[in-house]
Structure 1
Amino acid sequence: MRIALVGYGKMGKIIDEIAQKRGHEVVARLKETPTAENLNHPDVVIEFSLPEVAFDNVKACLENNIPVICGTTGWLEKRVEIEKIAVENNTAFLYGSNFSLGVNLFFALNEKLADLMKNVVEYSCQLEEIHHIHKKDAPSGTAISIAEGIFKHNKKFDAWKLDETKDNQLGIFAIREDEVPGTHSVFYRSEVDEIEIKHTAFNRNGFALGAVVAAEWIKDKKGNFEMKDVLGL
């Protein structure tokens, strides 16, 4: 495939390397706003940039009828608008708060545990995420996805908040530490014990590989998708 990379930081460079190892041609490496000219006619765009520019980047690509894999978090208040643009332009959009295979399995496990715990009133719930000090948004998109998975099964919660859980708001502790690629934990605590599930990323390679796999999967598809569609979860 011909792949254009929009956003060329640490993640973009790892995606570049993995895409080429899998036999793809990287036809653009952009730090600026994508256009029909500088995208260089790709089959798909992989977008990992910054929250403040992600919407404009994705919109420009979709309006040029190019499918987009987007891993930028912190801009999702405009996701519905982007999904509408994808449909209007008869192309495809796939958003992932995290492209790691392990994290997406963790999402499924989190929902299963939330369903088991929904009527066990003795336990309170709390989330924690740890990331490197360069991360722009807090909480992480992955933590928000975990929280939303809990909301689906536990009607006690209908919103998240930073720090302690309070009433119907599920608390998320967002910690920024050194060069940590990403650690996410869900805790259920009672007066007598604690249940914890946890995912720890050792490096960014799993995220990058998942993004390339998603790009391979989305070719010739139309509509809006998530990583669980790619993995059949």
Structure 2
Amino acid sequence: MKLAFFGNGRMGRAAAARAVDEGHEVGVVLTSQDASRAPAETAALLRGHGAAIDFSTGPAVLAHVAACMQAGVPLVEGTTGWQAGEAEARRLVEESGGAMVYGENFSIGVNLFYRLVDRAAELFGGLPDYDAFIEEAHHAKKRDAPSGTALRLRAMLARRVGRDVPVVSTRAGHIPGVHRVGFDSAADQVTLVHSARSREGLAAGALAATRWIGGRRGVYAFPDVLDEILQAAKRGKP
């Protein structure tokens, strides 16, 4: 499949390298230098691609969605920091009859971690002696804090425990990504931790989503369709 990419940062390069390893063709790669293009101009560059993968910046996402929908190219959206524009993104996709799958983290491990945390929060939610907390750490160049993954974890926990949950963020060095969820009491502490060793996990998940989304219509959250994506990967076909 010929794939287009938005963003040429660490994550974008990792996804493109993974695409080549899986036998895909890397087509157009659009960077911040292309941000001034109108969506129609970008759409002209995208036509002929099987899908596009976006790991760019939050403010650019709506223009990328518009361009992909005009070009008839399914979009895998891995950028964070654009959720305020989600309603508009949905409108663009639905009115065009296009397709988009989005996620703040495409790592299979992280998405299974969500399920573990949700179950733990359900168990601890009725115990007033335990307080939930979240700690996350990433490399110094990551712009958003808390991370999109931490924000999703916070929403999950708040729904289960009935109150807001504090998040502590660290930006230092070259940390790929660590998320720690804890339940603390005077007697003990229970913690769940996900530690990324590289960006390979996110790249693999994004490519799996790219294979899955072909021929579909609508807007999908990656965690909600994870089971279908994993089943398709096992079958070796979308």
The answer, yes or no, to whether TM exceeds 0.5 is yes
- The size of the alignment, in residue pairs, is 221
Q: Give the distance between the partners of 2:43 and 2:63, measured in 1 at CA.
A: 14
Q: Note the C-alpha offset of 1:10.
A: 1.4
Is 1:52 the counterpart of 2:47? The answer is no
- SS in structure 1 of the partner of residue 14 of structure 2: helix
| 2:168 match | 173
Q: Note the C-alpha offset of 1:60.
A: 2.0
Give unmatched runs, 5+ long, in structure 1: 158-168
What are the Cα deviations for residues 150-178 of structure 1, in whole angstroms up to 9, with x where unaligned?
23323x22xxxxxxxxxxx3211011010
Is 1:100 the counterpart of 2:85? The answer is no
| 1:78 match | 85
| 1:69 match | 76
Q: Is the 8 A contact 2:47 2:73 kept in 1?
A: no
| 1:203 match | 198
Higher helix share goes to which structure? Answer: 2
Q: Is the 8 A contact 1:217 1:230 kept in 2?
A: no
Q: Note the C-alpha offset of 1:26.
A: 1.4
Q: Note the C-alpha offset of 1:147.
A: 1.3
Is 1:183 the counterpart of 2:178? The answer is yes
Q: Give the distance between the partners of 1:193 and 1:229, measured in 2 at CA.
A: 33
- SS in structure 2 of the partner of residue 153 of structure 1: helix
| 1:133 match | 140
Q: Give the distance between the partners of 1:124 and 1:190, measured in 2 at CA.
A: 7
Q: Give the distance between the partners of 1:107 and 1:185, measured in 2 at CA.
A: 11
What are the Cα deviations for residues 125-157 of structure 1, in whole angstroms up to 9, with x where unaligned?
111110001011110001011112223323x22
Superposition RMSD in Å: 1.4
Task: Go from structure 1 to structure 2 and tell me whether the alpha carbon gap of 1:67 and 1:37 turns closer, same or farther (over 3 Å shift).
Answer: same
Identity of aligned residues (%): 35
| 1:144 match | 151
Structure 2 length-normalised TM: 0.88
Give unmatched runs, 5+ long, in structure 2: 229-238
Structure 1 length-normalised TM: 0.90
Task: Go from structure 1 to structure 2 and tell me whether the alpha carbon gap of 1:40 and 1:65 turns closer, same or farther (over 3 Å shift).
Answer: closer
